[in-house]
Amino acid sequence: MSSALKITLILSLLLSAGSHAADTTPRKTLTSFASEQALGTYLQQLQARQAALQKEQQKLQRATAQYMAAPPPAPMAAKAAPVASAEAAESVTNVQTAGVDEGGIVKLHGKHLVMLRRCKLFTVALGGNALQTVAALDAFAPGSDPSGSWYDEMLIDGDTVVVIGYSYSRGGTEIGLFDMAADGKLAYRATYHLRSNDYYSSRNYASRLIGSKLVFYSPLSLNLHRGDPFGGFPALRRWRPDTVPSDFKRIAPATRIYRTDEEPEPGAGLTLHTVTVCDLAQRDMRCEATAVMGPQGRVFYVSGESVFVWTTRRGRDSGVFRIPLDGSAPSALKVAGAPVDQFSFLESLDGHLNVLLRAEGQGDAMWDGARGRGDMALLRVPLTSFSDGRDSAPASSYKPLPGGGGYGLQNRYVGSYLLYGIPGNGGRRQADQAWPRQPLYAVRWADAGSVQAISLPHGVERIEALGNDAVVIGAQGKDMHFSSIRLGAQAEVATRYIRADAAQGESRSHGFFYKPQTASEGMIGLPILGADERPGLNKSGASVLYLRNSSLQLTELAALAARPGPAPDDGCRASCVDWYGNARPLFLQGRAFALLGYELVEGALKDGQIREVRRISYAPIASTLR
């Protein structure tokens, strides 16, 4: 064999070892229940164990009450313990993983924007020199009562618009399907209810779209004290005016319910961590679910092939589940610590899972992602190390990191680096107050090299990718700073842009967008407010700020502002709080837009400035809805 051929072969082997096509199949997988009878027997055993525990608690309460009662009064009666009850061509969403779309409030369909706001869907045509409202339609089923429901996320697959909400009155995730025509008109198709607990997270999103696969992670807390524990298992029903609870049909048989060797903690509750995959290629939606039994605390991350769910027990014992999207058996690994949010995870192309950890965390439900404390570490394990849940990640797979976590920790993988830092002051300060400087930390996640502490004069409120480099955004007094970070052999600050008397108007990841034009050129968009303004759930961002990135030099292109004045009376019936924000920068079809509440503003770039050329209000008028 020639030397050239040997070198070619060696390079080929090295590349294949580092590619995602490498075999990442776990050695062993979790065990499912063999039958419905086996699952029922296990649940009965858990019920009996819980009943015995409750009885012991009652005895302890009685003994304590008797001991504490002063003599000679008669013994006190003890009280019973309470029962714990995309468009493929162009995206307008700042997603975490390429090819994995995330539920958002605005999407693109051909030459139309589709917006979801305050219980309604809206479409606006993007004509060459005009903006035109086309359609508005309720985001819920005709004849249904939307009260007690929140419609927050939307996805588009082909000509199907999917609206995802949570209904407290109907007890689960609500999936609305709508048909969209080429002219922008909307028509209601169907509504489905997916049994779940509340999925809301201030940082994460409930839904993903991979091809035509609609993917949900749903926690389901099992009530072992109810007569029928199967009443809390994953199920789906199609809505109709006379629908009843018994219309729910199980979508996770016993053979797709898995458990580890860990027994549930007494009194701590048991959760079915459920991944549901629905096929949107069929007009009548079909869904299948896989569930793993585990403790309550959780953070989940969706890669192109799997959903990773990190669960945390009381104390510091944790486990991470890998649930494949193709319906094959999940696997698991015993681990320590807790991730911050979904951005703490990276399934890398070399067949590893990388996770930034804090010693303690509560998961990312509701606002818990901002909380957490303790020492930090980077976990890096081969996907092949996942097994039947009996194995633990070795101590050598944890790299200790500086920084003690802290409230509001931000973290992001950009290129070969993991970047993380904290806001520092938890918000904005008066200009004359002292500023406790907080560094930005940078570490190469693959080789676990030394950690850099990069000095910044501002806090770390947002970390985003600019191609293979990054931008870090944060407050210093009443000013907002954008620091571009060059990620080469070392991470270093390239330049800084300061917007005086300003602050972020959106904290969610979808509020930011970067549109690359070349490898080193592009445009940034971010909603902003005045420094003295406070972002409100029903308040639009005052404007969207646009910056040009030119080889990490940041220059302002101007801002497109909302029209001042009171919000229109839209006759909102439900979902009247913008939990997911209402302002977005949009770059599409060679044009720049600002979505600001019910306004869509277009700007044109000329002579190094973006200037407004047109705007439209798509707000419904309450008087026309009666």
In this prediction, residue 9 carries a pLDDT of: 31
In angstroms, rounded to a whole number, what is the distance separating the alpha carbons of residues 148 and 450?
51
In this prediction, residue 405 carries a pLDDT of: 65
In this prediction, residue 458 carries a pLDDT of: 93
Q: Are 471 and 440 in contact, with CB atoms under 8 Å apart?
A: no
In this prediction, residue 79 carries a pLDDT of: 29
Task: Kindly report the length of the chain.
Answer: 626
In this prediction, residue 542 carries a pLDDT of: 81
Q: Count CB-CB contacts under 10 A for residue 227.
A: 6
In this prediction, residue 140 carries a pLDDT of: 93
In this prediction, residue 537 carries a pLDDT of: 52
305 CB burial (10 A radius; 0-12, 13-18, 19+): middle
In angstroms, rounded to a whole number, what is the distance separating the alpha carbons of residues 393 and 353?
11
> Which three-class secondary structure state does DSSP give residue 86?
coil
Q: CB within 8 A of 456, min separation 6: which ones?
A: 421, 437, 438, 439, 440, 472, 474, 481, 483, 493
Q: Are 531 and 479 in contact, with CB atoms under 8 Å apart?
A: yes
In this prediction, residue 269 carries a pLDDT of: 66
In this prediction, residue 88 carries a pLDDT of: 42
In angstroms, rounded to a whole number, what is the distance separating the alpha carbons of residues 220 and 204?
17
The vertex-463 CA angle with 460 and 464, nearest 5°, equals 160
> Which three-class secondary structure state does DSSP give residue 391?
strand
In this prediction, residue 428 carries a pLDDT of: 47
Residue % of the chain over a pLDDT of 90: 53
Positions of the chain with pLDDT lower than 50, given as ranges:
1-20, 57-58, 60-88, 367, 426-435, 623-626
Q: Are 535 and 505 in contact, with CB atoms under 8 Å apart?
A: yes
Q: Are 274 and 228 in contact, with CB atoms under 8 Å apart?
A: no
Q: CB within 8 A of 331, min separation 6: which ones?
A: 26, 28, 29, 30, 321, 322, 386, 387, 388, 389
Q: Are 349 and 373 in contact, with CB atoms under 8 Å apart?
A: no
Minimal CA–CA distance to 508: which of 585, 616, 451?
Answer: 585
In this prediction, residue 359 carries a pLDDT of: 79
> Which three-class secondary structure state does DSSP give residue 579?
coil
In angstroms, rounded to a whole number, what is the distance separating the alpha carbons of residues 169 and 75?
44
Q: Are 376 and 360 in contact, with CB atoms under 8 Å apart?
A: no
In this prediction, residue 226 carries a pLDDT of: 66
The vertex-320 CA angle with 315 and 326, nearest 5°, equals 155
Helix (H) or strand (E) holding 286: strand 286-294
Within 13 Å, how many C-alpha atoms sit on residue 17's CB side? 6
In this prediction, residue 371 carries a pLDDT of: 55
